[in-house]
Amino acid sequence: MRRNGFTLIELVISMAIFGMFLMMLATLSMEMRGQEKRYPVNFMAHPQVMTVLARLRRDVLDAFGQNPYDNYPQTSQMLTFDTIVGGGVQKVTWDFSKKGEVHRISYNVGVSTEWVARGLPPDFIATIDAVETPGHPFGVRIIASDAKGRRSIDQILQPRVHQ
């Protein structure tokens, strides 16, 4: 005699697998909500923050010395250094002093170019500090926080060792 349907053990196993799937989904949703609360900058709403960090990381990787240039002194809101671009030396200044904007000014053989990131959150406050580490001439620590003092970025960037 043939019966249609599932046995009890088949139903229990399928419910257990479905329960584990729901548990994983709930855990991931809770972790995503925790990350959202922990970081005050919504990187999806303000993609310029990630663009600034990526470009700054690239510049610091190619840097080989800190060198203040003209009216741009080395401060907690301004980073100035020499970098290698296309086989030549370029002076790069990162200016975080304007609220909601970041300026990257580069000088190469009398030619000045400026890149501006304007899509930053209005309460984005970044400070820059030099970090000493063994085997490297210098490191750059960038700390960004909102107006309430909650940190959104705390990274140390190290230049490559140039031969």
What's at 158, amino acid-wise? Answer: Q
pLDDT tens digits, 80-119: 888 877 777 888 888 888 888 889 988 887 778 888 988 7
Is residue 152 pLDDT above 60, yes or no?
yes
pLDDT band at 20 (very low <50, low <70, confident <90, very high): very high
Q: Which domain holds residue 103?
A: 48-157
The domain tally of the chain equals 2
Number of other CB atoms surrounding residue 38 within 10 Å: 10
pTM listed for this prediction: 0.65
The answer to whether position 14 is within a domain reads yes
Strand, coil or helix: what is 162? coil
Whether residue 24 is predicted with pLDDT greater than 90 in this model: the reply is yes
Domain match, 27 and 52 both: no
Nearby residues of 78 by Cβ (< 8 Å), 6 or more positions away: 72, 93, 94, 95, 96, 97, 128
Type of residue numbered 12: V
Higher pLDDT, 136 or 55: 55
- Break the chain down into helix, strand, coil percent, rounded to 5: 30, 35, 35
Domain contains 43:
no
Give 59 or 16, the one with higher predicted confidence: 16
